[in-house]
Amino acid sequence: MNDPCANPPNNQLQFLRDLVEENASIAGDVVQLGDNLWAIHGFIPVDCDVLMAEFDSYDEATNTLEQLSPRSRRRDDRVSRTLR
């Protein structure tokens, strides 16, 4: 996984977009891993559910997640969000 200090949010966003182009799908939520560590996770066909990008703050993670196309989200996340 990426070191959040070494990869600014724009690099993380591009990394996630690259993963989506390779058939990964992104979960629609942000996971807290520690006091100042947040992650976006998703599904990669070979590895299943994995952490994909780390961030120093919840805001950085959610802002990055919001910039991803809704098509990049896992199908179950897209369906559950439209039903709410």
The three-point CA angle 56-62-63 to 5° equals 95
Its pTM surpasses 0.85:
no
Instruction: Read off the pLDDT of residues 6-56 as tens digits, 9 standing for 90 and up.
Output: 566 788 999 999 988 888 899 988 999 999 999 999 998 888 889 999 999
Nearest to 31 by CA among 39, 42, 23: 39
Instruction: Read off the pLDDT of residues 58-73 as tens digits, 9 standing for 90 and up.
Output: 999 999 999 987 777 7
